[in-house]
Amino acid sequence: MEDYSEWREAGRIAGEALKYGKALIKPGARITEVLDKIEEKIYSLGGKCAFPPQISMNDVAAHYCPEPGDEFCFKDELCSLDLGVHVNGAIGDTACTVDLSGNNQRLVEAAEKAIDAAIEKAAIGVKLSEIGAAIQETISDHGFAPVRNLSGHGLGRFKIHDEPSVPNYNDKGNTVLKKGMTVAIEPFATTGQGLIHEADDATIFSLINKKPVRNIFTRQILKEIESYNDLPFTTRWLARKFPMIKVNFALKELLQNNIIKAYPPLVEVAHGLVSQAEHSLLIDDKVEVLTRV
């Protein structure tokens, strides 16, 4: 029987960090400073980053992290803040959306109501397709489309994307929620077509294949990457320890040798605006929303 205390702790820290980070997203705030502060908050609360905190804007649904030294400051964007915390590999994954324009409140609400509907539906024995149906119906009722090729996921120790996949629409599947599962549910609502594709220029990566490398810079950087426990990392983290010219050289070599995998920004195909909400749940006799604080 797994002890869930570390999952509860990771979830609580993630929830606190999300609340803290959400309040920092304001016109004039610099994106890199906001993300750095969120990371500091996670560590000060006793957690570690399960992946780099990220703020995806407007038609970008996920996986946007600024380059080191990026001076971008928020103005009127639709900002989805997504962060993950781990405590000894037990993960809490949570997200919310901040509308700085004031014109997209209903889109934000669509994702929030969808996560509420999904949580209400979640219980031992419930089909994941029923959760997806609840998400789809809520988002459609708001006049938007769910993003169908993004989904929630099981959470494993040191494994962010574990089985099962939790659809954001009724995929007619028969997989059910089981007692003891930890899952992240993450509806995305969009004014576009409800599909994303991968853009270029990833800044998020993870180690997938441990293999020796010859180049001295690449070897040094690979050593640092190994300290992330196979969890995703971002170029900004490496830039704190190494010159960017070495980082870029090493990342290129590591990608070419299939040692790391890139997670490029995910952009809505029709460039619709995208909102997101996410919570991590423990499926038990009574479902616990681990990241709700």
Active site residues: 82, 93, 153, 161, 186, 278
* Site for Mn ion contains 55 (CB under 5 A): no
Neighbouring C-beta atoms of residue 246, cutoff 10 Å: 18
- Count, residues near Mn ion per rule CB under 5 A: 6
Q: Residue 54 Cβ, how far from Mn ion at the closest point, in Å?
A: 8
* Range list of H helices, 50-144: 105-121, 128-141
- Closest to Mn ion by CB, 222 vs 282, is 282
17 lines the binding site for Mn ion (CB under 5 A) = no
Neighbouring residues of 104: CB distance < 8 A, sequence distance ≥ 6: 78, 273, 275
Site for Mn ion in 206-245 (CB under 5 A): none
82 binds Mn ion, rule: CB under 5 A: yes
Q: What is the DSSP string of 203-271?
A: -EEEE-------SHHHHHHHHHHHTTTT--EEHHHHHTTS-HHHHHHHHHHHHHTTSEEE---EEETT-
Does the footprint of Mn ion cover residue 77 (CB under 5 A)? no
Q: Which of 93, 99, 112, 268 binds Mn ion (CB under 5 A)?
A: 93
Q: Which of 110, 184, 247, 260 binds Mn ion (CB under 5 A)?
A: 184
Vertex 262 angle, CA 291 and 37, to 5°: 45
Report the 10 Å Cβ neighbour count for 202. 20
Q: Closer to Mn ion at the Cβ: 112 or 186?
A: 186
Say if residues 280 and 290 touch (Cβ distance below 8 Å): yes
Tell me the C-alpha distance between 262 and 208, whole Å: 10
Give the interface segment with Mn ion, choosing from 117-125, 162-170, 183-191, 197-205 (CB under 5 A).
Answer: 183-191
Is residue 99 near Mn ion by the rule CB under 5 A? no
Given the rule CB under 5 A, which of 78-86, 102-110, 164-172, 191-199 is the region that contacts Mn ion?
A: 78-86
Interacting residues toward Mn ion by CB under 5 A: 82, 93, 95, 184, 186, 278
